[in-house]
Amino acid sequence: MKKIVLSRTDNLGDVILTLPLAGLLKKQYPQAQLIFIGKKYTEAIIKSCKNIDVFLDREDVINSPDLLKNLQADVIIHVFPDKEIAKTAKKAGIPLRIGTSHRLFHYLYCNKLVNFSRKKSDLHEAQLNCKLAEPLGIKLPTLEEIPAYYGMEATQKTDINLSKNKFNLILHPKSKGSAREWPLTYFESLIKQLPKELFDIYITGTENEGELIKSQQPSIFSYANVTDLTGKFSLENLINFINQADGIVACSTGPLHIAAALGKYACGIYPPMKPVHPGRWAPLGKKALYLVLQKNCSDCKKSMDCACIQAIKVEQVAKVVLGWQAKLVTNPHV
């Protein structure tokens, strides 16, 4: 096996949870070149992964099909079903084209179909990604094994000077509407409960999310130990900043998974509702965990106003974060 192409042309968190598949492939085929086709805005994630050799922008591949043909790849795994990429891969003559059997167009463009349903499976998203590589001899990893295969590295530093005497905590309250969100009032209450002499707090998000927070809960930025970093970072710099910080609290978002992949303290706040529950989307990392109401619920499927998220108490999150700070003080290298 000389060249393996992975195609995942969707969201940030989904791409991060594809990185362990790249690590497993690199372990199985250490001499192979791994090429990743993704959306341009996820490029910084791909380039931070030591197991991936080449990034290709989806639009470039669609507009210039010879890019894929000239690679002379041995196999392509369509981790995310993308009809145009699947069609282009077949035209490029890639000998082995793997995809899920649950997309009709894969019957036209793939020659190896893996039969499983993401919606009905009890597996984590990272495991489901790996399942598509079973035809290449990849065994399904356990959740405990996955963190060792991210291969994600951040070597640069931002120009933000972080405290060496405090716990540097990131709060990422928004999700671009992709997840059920813990209320902003709860995030502000968390800030109040964390001793300012022990914590410096940084609020991250896009520029639009920052404006939304300011319109909905402007007082959240009023505390002396809180810094507003919304809209301040490119994705590359956000990765670097997360790597500089000590921990993050967020809902099910890309930055939460970045922190988990980098081995940072990470606490995700989740609803108990399939398919957005932590069984499918929990952060996977040596210092990652999640909080969820222990019940089965589908009451909020058609609403972003989630009672189960609101049932996660500020005191629960504060206890987690204070535990991190205590560990960092007593054993800073763990």
pLDDT digits (tens, 9 = 90+) for 239-297: 999 999 999 999 999 999 999 999 999 999 999 888 889 999 999 999 999 999 987 77
- The domains of the chain are located at 3-149, 167-330
Measured distance CA(53)–CA(131) in Å, rounded: 22
Angle, CA 248 vertex, CA 242 and CA 254 arms, to 5°: 70
State which fold the 167-330 domain adopts.
Answer: Rossmann fold (3.40.50)
pLDDT in tens, 202-221: 999 999 999 999 999 999 99
State which fold the 3-149 domain adopts.
Answer: Rossmann fold (3.40.50)
Contact 56, 67 (CB under 8 A): yes
pLDDT in tens, 173-183: 999 888 889 99
Measured distance CA(286)–CA(210) in Å, rounded: 30
Measured distance CA(34)–CA(55) in Å, rounded: 9
Q: What percent of the chain has pLDDT over 90?
A: 86
Measured distance CA(260)–CA(2) in Å, rounded: 30
The DSSP symbol for 152 reads: B
Intrachain domains 3-149 and 167-330 with the same fold: yes
Contact 44, 239 (CB under 8 A): yes
Query: What is the model's pTM?
Result: 0.95
